[in-house]
Structure formats: structure tokens, C-alpha cells
Amino acid sequence: MERESCNTLLSALVDFLRGVRILLITIKVKQNIFINVPAKEIFAYISNFENMVDWSSTIITVRKISSGAVEMGATVRSTIRFLGKWLDITFEIVEYEPGRYLTIKSVSGIAPFLFCYQFEPVEDGGTTISQKAVIHLPEGILEMKAPVITSAVRRQIEYDLQTLKDMLEA
């Protein structure tokens, strides 16, 4: 079941962008995977953002830039490679409940995005992770159509979640 707060954040982001009259191509992707590891362990690994370089194929570098603990409001800067382009992005943790959910949104970079991770414990001790990605690309930023970009994002997230599963179950 999708959480209401993630949907509320998505709606607020879209409303803001419409308010500044930016024409957007919206990419929405949702992927699920079962990992035979407890939710709290997976959450701890994912929320240590420096680990992203090990399981996310687009992340080149990542580091936390805010002081203090990883929690709601913390900021992280990363360099990613996507569709042949190198991009610098700063994102903020906007939802953080250990073992349950983690949501990050961009605060700088080429395109507004929101990634929502939800962790659902399964009775046998494993966890189903749902990752929802919503990316708003300004029209004309890439010479590709939305279906091509959506397909690339879907493949990348599917690959990354499988990599995460393989690493954590090893």
C-alpha cells in the first residue's frame, strides 16, 4: 500500500513547478523487490548514503554535506551519470522512519525528483522494498521522448535493486 505522505509530497512538487510555468515531462517508475534480510538492516544500509556507490549504478560520488546524524532534513550531494551525462545533484531527506520508509527529494540539480523507499517486513523475516521514483524533466532538456527515458529509469532501478539484493543476501 502506498503511503499518503509520499503522494502528498509528489503533488506539492508538481503544483510548485506548474506555478512557475515550467513545461515538464514527468517520469514515474515504481519497482518492488523481496530481499531475505530484515527491514531494519536494509534501511540502515540504504540510509548510509556513502553505500550508494556500491549498489546504485548511476552514482559516481556521494557525501553527506549537512552536519549531524542522518535524519529528516539532512542533505547529501552526489554526482551521477545518467543517459551519458554527468550531473551534480543535492538532495534532502524529507521522510525518515528507520525500518519503514525513506524519502529524498532534489534541492538542486538539473531536474526535480523524489525517490520514496518503503520497507515492508514479511513474516519469514525478509522484506519487500518498494521504490517509487518521480522525475520532472524540463521539456527539451533531452532530445528523447518520455517513454525512452521512463524505460531507462525503470531498467536502472530494477538493476540497482537486484544489485542491492545480491549484496545484502550474500
Name the domain count of the chain: 1
**Is the confidence at residue 127, as pLDDT, over 50?**
yes
More confident residue, 38 or 3: 38
CATH code of the domain covering residue 107: 3.30.530.20
**How far is residue 29's CA from residue 131's CA, in Å, rounded to a whole number?**
8
**How far is residue 101's CA from residue 114's CA, in Å, rounded to a whole number?**
13
More confident residue, 140 or 108: 108
Domain that holds residue 62: 4-169
**Is the confidence at residue 15, as pLDDT, over 70?**
no
**How far is residue 98's CA from residue 40's CA, in Å, rounded to a whole number?**
7
**How far is residue 121's CA from residue 54's CA, in Å, rounded to a whole number?**
23
pTM exceeds cut of 0.85: no
